[in-house]
Structure 1
């Protein structure tokens, strides 16, 4: 039989012929038991040397794709014919994910406008300003980490501690004690690939399928999806001006996930009275509280609020932090300080999951923290973010006041504003995008019927000049009545 093979140039002829013959066999275009032309005829057909086709046939025979019969020729082997084909097999025979994975969103995105053309004024949430990062200081720390890595374990490459590199854990422990009143030893800190992995590990060791996990309503969608993927039954507990409503927690709740320093997405901090009530409730019920302190480092007014972890005397709080908001998200580093009873199970879970993270990045960040560069960077960013937040509030309390009411928020790198005037949140978001202003609605963070409409304005990656322009455009848009209003 003649075989159609296309050669591109005269480089690696053996490889080109081999790849196309193998693909034809695997994909079924060359059927089992089909006779192939002789190496001599194929070489003549393709205009190559016979040695080239001999080499191809020998390799395919050695790999089991072809077989020979003495004096009869070369044939396609029949082994692949027994494999189930995608078209021949019924749907029930195909590999399928567990049911929960067919219910989750195909892709999760941070609170930002949909993809498309870049916007002039983009108030993305969950991002930071890389232009303000001290790259020279970071480069020095990375170079030092490279030297450390080369000398580690006497130059023998091996696996590392699942808990993370000691320098980074020490830097985190010192930072938490100083800035968040979380007292812990470096051995108590478990380094993770961002806060999301910390939540994943906690769910693995605490939650069983069918357990009730209480989450804030509205709340953080990736956390809700993660707990649901573990087979948990989610209880969406409302929040008010003081935080999660403890009296609405189901009695059989196994884990409570909260963002007490800066409720996501509305922004208000959990009051001290509510924190004490939540801790008392969890101690009575034997529940675990996951405190996600995702951007509490940036506090702009009022006294610092005590973290739940600093008030925990019953051993029920797992404190989760991240460097995504203090440095940048693609660093993929976070941490958890669990109750003592969960330390060993979490260490084991991390080892089973992916053993450990990148030694180089962790060592560099550890040096960055212990040298004082992290604290200096936070001070610079605090000043920059305070100016951006103030600029947003000038507009929200000024020209935009007829339409929006900023919700109380004393920390973080985003603001939420309630929609006051009659109208629809999604229409305002769409109209703003029409004038190249990117804002996000808050309805997406409700699992059920939203109790209020509004917008989320991130300023972590938005300079003051861009904030000024974007808010001015939004005010002009609304003042001109270019949004279709209806109650």
Structure 2
């Protein structure tokens, strides 16, 4: 039923009196809009003229007209020479309490791996986080300032969809020296991290319904990307030589692997296993996605060359990121493709990506070119080598539960395998004590058939905290845990 004029005036006065930070014009707009949406002002009913409303509410006609005009622009009112009327709108629901529409996610999203919780500030033992307090922030600020001064407003427009050419050249030079990858800048696409690189690979190299192989256990981000794209994910077991090629499995379109330092168990894929996987992929028309996320941090022997550099025109797309070597918020990664693929996907890259973060990309290019990146990596290797050794010592002397330490001679984490523990509950309980280890079982495709254990990140945690952290884990392990097994 339509509100009588006096009741309408009372409603409007109350809204104006109780307004908080909004203006009188916006308060009038909101109360009229809400009354129309609730059906209190019926369709085609006429409102009093602006002069009458102004007198009744002690407002200026300009304020009244501005609110009414905005409602007319949005289609709630109709204004003409005959006056102002309420526009016909779909009837509101009859129920007194508005019903909440049930949320139904796409079926392919129902079984995604549990996402990793990211805390700020980061908790101790968080896997995959570098020592951000050691990053040369003042140097980085100076490089950014120099870039902005020299380039100015030119950086405010869209850039090359594949990324700033100068950064791609700098990355190509770095990869030739450090990873044994000899490529041209045209083969490199700058991404916002490994996940975007994986998503791009999935778009250009597969279609819904295809098979994707992933390491089991392995990086949950890869599984999430493949499942979201509608691929069928098949887990391939990990042994002492890395991904155990099984030719009896369904033929894949994509094979995801981290051969230089397997996540989370730390194996280095043997040369014979790499060559066999390359030959299999070439024969089956599959593509290998090589995730090289923390290969820069190897603490014994020489760096392990990338698979992409082992054979000319290998069916490999190489993914790298600066999130682990510099700092996560940088959100700059890259992918390297064989020449033929890089040429074929140029128009696709232009359609799917927009050049951005131009100042940061150019600052990073200078950071690499001037040798700061190599020096920072060397310093971080020394730091992380000491931290890994200290964590191994703390586990050996303090951890009471029977365990096996895995993780290899590199990276930013150690994996502690333990039977008869509920690692998911244990990891959740540890957060109450400012510790954030990862649960190993969550990295398996089938957690019910998984090994249990904790993934302990040492990149962001000073060695002085290790013994007390392990003692805290001892107390938590000793407590009864629901669903233990």
Show the counterpart of 1:61. Answer: 72
* CA shift for structure 1 position 379: 1.3
Show the counterpart of 1:283. Answer: 282
* CA shift for structure 1 position 274: 1.2
Show the counterpart of 1:123. Answer: 125
Show the counterpart of 2:109. Answer: 101
* 1:138 paired residue among 116, 140, 149: 140
* CA shift for structure 1 position 328: 1.2
8 A contact 2:323–2:331 mirrored in 1: yes
Go from structure 1 to structure 2 and tell me whether the alpha carbon gap of 1:160 and 1:85 turns closer, same or farther (over 3 Å shift): farther
Give the Cα–Cα distance (whole angstroms) in 1 for the partners of residues 440 and 276 of structure 2: 27
Show the counterpart of 1:17. Answer: 28
Show the counterpart of 2:294. Answer: 295
8 A contact 2:401–2:418 mirrored in 1: no
Give the Cα–Cα distance (whole angstroms) in 2 for the partners of residues 59 and 477 of structure 1: 60
Go from structure 1 to structure 2 and tell me whether the alpha carbon gap of 1:10 and 1:337 turns closer, same or farther (over 3 Å shift): closer
Question: Superposed, which structure 2 residues align to 1:55-204 within 5 Å?
Answer: 55-68=66-79, 73-78=83-88, 80-81=89-90, 98-104=106-112, 108-110=115-117, 122-150=124-152, 152=154, 158-204=157-203
Deviates more, 1:402-411 or 1:328-337: 402-411
8 A contact 1:283–1:314 mirrored in 2: no
Over residues 236-266 of structure 1, what are the superposed CA-to-partner deviations in whole Å (9 max), with x where a residue is unaligned?
A: 1111111111125635211100011111112
Give the Cα–Cα distance (whole angstroms) in 2 for the partners of residues 281 and 32 of structure 1: 69
Question: Superposed, which structure 2 residues align to 1:31-70 within 5 Å?
Answer: 31-68=42-79
Give the Cα–Cα distance (whole angstroms) in 2 for the partners of residues 94 and 35 of structure 1: 37
Runs of 4+ that moved beyond 6 A? 84-88, 93-96
Q: How many residues of Structure 1 are paired with residues of Structure 2 in the alignment?
A: 469
Gaps of 5+ in 1: none
1:441 aligns with 2:451: no
TM-score (norm 2): 0.87
Question: Superposed, which structure 2 residues align to 1:328-477 within 5 Å?
Answer: 328-400=327-399, 402-419=401-418, 422-430=420-428, 432-433=430-431, 435-448=433-446, 449-475=448-474
Q: RMSD of the alignment, in Å?
A: 3.1
Gaps of 5+ in 2: none
TM-score (norm 1): 0.87
Aligned residue for 1:234, secondary structure, equals strand
Go from structure 1 to structure 2 and tell me whether the alpha carbon gap of 1:339 and 1:54 turns closer, same or farther (over 3 Å shift): same
* CA shift for structure 1 position 387: 1.3
8 A contact 1:302–1:410 mirrored in 2: no
* CA shift for structure 1 position 178: 0.8
Over residues 277-332 of structure 1, what are the superposed CA-to-partner deviations in whole Å (9 max), with x where a residue is unaligned?
A: 11111111111000000111000123322211111324301100001101111111
* CA shift for structure 1 position 150: 1.8
* CA shift for structure 1 position 70: 5.0
Over residues 372-405 of structure 1, what are the superposed CA-to-partner deviations in whole Å (9 max), with x where a residue is unaligned?
A: 1111111111111111111110022223265221
* CA shift for structure 1 position 170: 1.2
Give the Cα–Cα distance (whole angstroms) in 1 for the partners of residues 116 and 421 of structure 2: 25
Aligned residue for 1:396, secondary structure, equals helix
